[in-house]
Amino acid sequence: MMKKKIGRTGSALLMVVLTTLTVALSGCSSDKAGDSAKVETGAETGTDTVTSTETAASTETTDDLSKLTVGIPQDIDGLDPHNSTGAGTREVFYNIFEGLVKADSDGNLNPAVASEYTISEDSKVYTFTLRDGIKFHDGSDVTVEDIKYSLERNMGVDGSEPLIKAYGKIDSVNVLDDSHVEVVLKDADSDFLTQLTVAIIPAANEHPETTPIGTGPYKYVSNSPQENFVVTRFDDYWGEKAYIKDVVFKIEANMDAIVLDLEGGSIDMMARVTPTQVAQLSDKFEVYEGTMNLVQALYLNNAVKPFDDVKVRQALCYAVNPQEIMDFVSEGAGTEVGSAMFPAFSKYYMPELNDTYNTDVDKAKALLAEAGYPNGFEFTITVPSNYGQHVDTAQVISEELKAIGVTANIQEIEWNSWVSDVYSGREYEATVVGIDASTLSASALLSRYVSDNGKNFVNFNSADFDAAYANASAATDDAEKTKYYKECETILSQEAASVYIQDLPEFVVLNKKFTGYVFYPLYVQDIAKIRPAQ
Amino acid sequence: MKYTLKKLSSTIVTLIVVSLCVFLAFNVLPGDPAIRMLGLEASPELVAQTREKMGLNDPVLVRYFRWFVAFWQGDFGTSYTYSVPVASLILSKIPITLTLGLLAFLFTVVISIPVGIATAKYENGILDRTITVVNQVIMAIPPFFSGILITFIFGMIFKFFTPGGFVSYTDDVRGFLRYLLFPSVAIAFPKIAMTVKMLRGNLIDESGKDYARTAYSRGNNTNGVLYRHVLKNAMIPVITFLGMALADMVAGSIVIEQVFNIPGISRILLSSISNRDYPVVEAIIMGIAIIVIGTNFLVDIIYRIIDPRIDIDD
């Protein structure tokens, strides 16, 4: 009897452990759609709204329009804005925290906690004027000391590493008087304003990790892991106040149930819905179409054979047809990109680069022959399995490459493995992902191609590019800077650093009881602009 | 007493083995918790500094030992993802998963035992035949699929509940229970089918045995034999099964919590695994292990009550 019992306990436990491991190894579905990491998935752009027809015919009269429930695909990874890095967290925190400056939907940086700023001639000293009468959510006034505290916290205190790498460039933050503070940089950087969107939080708050206090249009109410994140309108907000009083960000673990949840009424809004799901929705919903603001590409490891040969890379560019990919993956939606820049950065985006390589199988074959691969070759595309669009894209590419005799095998791996093998370890041949920008600066997308950059996972190595990028960084004049950034993009295109494909389309669904969704060129959901439809 | 001691020592050994397995497994899995926390854009220096602070640079056995000591002192650590104590994170979720599991168990017991007896009593009758067929079908449907079906039929068509409209027990207990009713039915379905099948088979087997015939010959009627003699013997394997089923409800809830969007323990477990949040995963796995072992212990006790011939002190 005894033996049998132990066996039973043992097998039950074994099952529990095995289940856990299976989940861990296979990459569970909670990873799906919108992982918290920064590479992949970007923001939304100003590509305006496309809608389904008509207005909502009958909504129940009992509807409470003072409450909006927004579905979000992943949990909030911590309440401290300076220590939370998830892209999904940033998009929610946009409503709660503000920096000295704040991005608007056109990609401009407007004063927020600061009411105005001046940048010194040599781009080394940034001086900010504190907005008059601005208050934190707890009712206290924002002071220059709070600004100093917030910035210094990101610089790393007591010799620890800066939380944001760029903050290592700050020499000092000085309080000038009661309403002025200056940020002094070690070296000139005319782009540094883009880094100053970091949240300003009260120095007096001893527990920013449990009681988030900001200055944004919404203030924090409660947070329940894996369940929801609740905010309410901040009535003392300095700017244009929000319309909707209560907003619940509800964590939707099961992306397959989105349509059911929208139709059933448990959520009113959901971003990054797939084209298939959009097609299943009834006319109770308005669909806003934008782009995800990322650069999707077949990223090639420039350090391994045969991709160390520029001709091979160019051959692949000639063989891959972005339009065909868009047709298959998202029914034609999406915007072609020809270099490492997406269209929302209109100042830097160069549509002409889309034509550097127009699909030409013969030319591709000729280039392959020149490079010494007349009969093609075989390689592996490693794709993170939780991103359906990227897996689909890899499949289309694999088919397209058959035409030039190249065999592309697809290997799907779990996100964590992708991060450690491909992104950090650089042990791969090719991969399909999307790369987004963390700040409103072209350098956010281009710096990774500098040959000795730590994020240069494609191992791109070009002296011309390095020189152009260095010039761009050094330039203080905006036009000159833009010119050099564009030169960088052109080099990436000509050298075929990777096979650039598209900026993926993004669909946001909003119940027609509400209106006013706006896309941003960054990863944010601006809930303050959403209002009842009537 | 001897039995209890034996059981206790084997329990502790099992827990150690389980926790070590999970710890080692996570050690070989790809994925750096520090990078997971800081994001891909973090500088290597910051990652190195954070790893040092989290103690991730120590040898795995050192880390295991450190965790182990703290765990038995009641300190489950701090979640990497949520920066809150693991204990409070899990505690707030236990009522949800527990309610779900117990509701499912309740359904299983309350429905399957009477149905099982009825089918055995009227063996080969219309009821029996129908239920046998229905049973086969239900057993073949995995809970996630019945979950989707239930959501569609009862949520979308009949509107008995709002799909995905989970209400926290802190806000509205009745709404909470009403929402959990349907997922628990989805978990219970296959278990009910299996229990009915098992009980029916056992009852028919046992009633053909000598002691049952003797009971009949002493003038007992069908019901008397069935309830007083046969049922007790037939129940023993069923109780084992129900015990396992109760432990299995936890595993069943992993899938169902995803399908019904219930923010319970399983959701935390899944997200912690993909976030490489070891302290949370370890604590939950230990909890599950304790439940599994505890249930089995309980089953042994119930054995004895039902059948005094079983002497567990052996």
Secondary structure (DSSP) of chain B: -HHHHHHHHHHHHHHHHHHHHHHHHHHHSS--HHHHHH-TTS-HHHHHHHHHHHTTTS-HHHHHHHHHHHHHTT---B-TTT-SBHHHHHHTTHHHHHHHHHHHHHHHHHHHHHHHHHHHHTTTSHHHHHHHHHHHHHHHS-HHHHHHHHIIIIIIIS-SS-TT----TTT-HHHHHHHHHHHHHHHHHHHHHHHHHHHHHHHHHHHTSHHHHHHHHTT--HHHIIIIIIHHHHHHHHHHHHHHHHHHHHHHHHHHHHHTT--SHHHHHHHHHHTT-HHHHHHHHHHHHHHHHHHHHHHHHHHHHH-TT--TT-
Residue B97 scores a pLDDT above 70: yes
Identify the helix (H) or strand (E) that includes residue A278: helix A275-280
Both A306 and A429 in one domain: the answer is yes
| Among chain A residues, CA nearest to B43 | A165
- Can you give the pLDDT at residue A30? 37
Residue A81 lies in a domain: yes
Instruction: Tell whether B273 lies on the interface with A, counting CB pairs under 8 A.
Output: yes
B191-231 pLDDT tens trace:
899 999 999 998 888 888 888 888 888 887 777 777 878 88
Question: Which residue of A lies nearest to B313 if distances are taken between CA atoms?
Answer: A2
Q: Provide the number of CB pairs (under 8 Å) joining chain A to chain B.
A: 209
Alpha helices by DSSP H, listed for A320-442, are 322-330, 361-370, 388-402, 415-417
From A182, A216, A250, the end of a domain falls on A216
Q: Which residue of A has its CA nearest to B93?
A: A225
- A464-507 pLDDT, tens digit each: 999 999 999 888 888 898 999 999 999 999 999 999 999 999 99
Contact A264 B163 (CB under 8 A): yes
| A432 and A343 within one domain | yes
Q: Do A325 and A430 belong to one domain?
A: yes
How far are the Cα atoms of A2, B196, B252, B310 from residue B243, in angstroms, in the given order? Answer: 16, 15, 14, 17
Query: Which pTM was predicted?
Result: 0.82
Question: Is residue A464 domain-resident?
Answer: yes
Question: Would you call B90 an interface residue with chain A, using a CB distance cutoff of 8 Å?
Answer: no
Residues A181 and A321 in one domain: no
**For residue A468, what are the CA distances in angstroms to A117, A188, A206, A349, A471?**
29, 17, 45, 16, 5
CB B89 within 8 A of CB B268: yes
Q: How many domains does chain A have?
A: 2
- Say which residues have a Cβ less than 8 Å from residue B76's Cβ, sequence separation at least 6: B70, B85, B86, B87, B90, B279, B282, B283
Q: Specify whether A82 is located in the same domain as A46.
A: yes
Residue A254 placed within a domain: no
Please compute the mean of the pLDDT values over residues B115-126 and round it to a whole number: 87
The pLDDT of residue B218: 82
Asked if A42 and A498 count as a contact pair (C-beta separation under 8 A), the reply is no
The pLDDT assigned to A36 comes to: 35
For residues A204 and A335, membership in a common domain is answered with no
Task: Name which of A36, A226, A455 is nearest B268 (Cβ-Cβ).
Answer: A226
The 10s digit of each residue's pLDDT in A456-472 is 999 999 999 999 999 99
Provide DSSP, A3-63: HHHHHHHHHHHHHHHHHHHHHHHH--GGG-SS-SSSSS-----S------SS--S---TT-
Asked if residue A244 is part of any domain, the answer here is no
Helix (H, G, I), strand (E, B) or coil at A222: strand
Within-domain flag for A53: yes
pLDDT tops 90 at residue B293: no
ipTM over 0.85: no
Per the listing, tokens 């191609």 go with A449
The DSSP secondary-structure symbol of A479 reads H
Domain shared by A16 and A51, yes or no: no
Closest-CA distance, B183 to chain A, in angstroms, reads 14
Average pLDDT on B106-113 reads 92
Minimum mean pLDDT range among A96-100, A239-243, B4-8, B117-121:
B4-8
CATH number at residue A132: 3.90.76.10
Q: Domain end: A216, A248, A265, which one?
A: A216
Pairing, β A294-300 against β A499-503: antiparallel
Which residue segment(s) compose the domain that A343 sits in? 12-21+293-505
Q: B312–A30: do the CB atoms touch at under 8 Å?
A: no
A252 vs B contacts (CB less than 8 Å) = 164, 261
Residue A320 and residue A209 share a domain: no
Same domain, A80 and A198: yes
- CB distance A24–B81 less than 8 Å? no
Q: Is residue A235 part of a domain?
A: no
- A467 and A378 belong to one structural domain: yes
Cβ contacts (< 8 Å) between A207 and chain B: which residues?
none
Domain C-terminal end among A216, A241, A265: A216
Does residue A306 have a cis bond before it (omega within 30 degrees)? yes
Residues of B in contact with A17 (CB under 8 A): 18, 21-22, 25, 285
- Distance from CA of residue A186 to its chain's centroid? 29
What is residue B46's predicted lDDT score, i.e. its pLDDT?
Answer: 86
The CATH code of the domain that includes A443 is 3.10.105.10
Question: Does residue B42 belong to the interface with chain A, where contact is any CB pair within 8 Å?
Answer: yes
Quick check: is A517 in a domain?
no
Which parts of chain A register pLDDT below 50?
A: 1-7, 26-62
The beta-carbon contacts of A322-326 under 8 Å, at least 24 apart in sequence, are: A322/A354, A322/A500, A322/A501, A322/A502, A324/A396, A324/A400, A325/A393, A325/A396, A325/A397, A325/A501, A325/A502, A326/A502
CA distances from B202 to A121, B105, B107, B234 (A): 91, 21, 21, 5
A54 plus A161 within the same structural domain: yes
In a domain, A248, yes or no: no
Q: What is the pLDDT of residues A3-46, one digit of tens each?
A: 444 445 555 555 556 555 555 554 433 333 333 333 433 333 33
**Same domain as A145, residue A83:** yes
Task: With CB atoms and an 8 Å threshold, state whether A227 touches B168.
Answer: yes
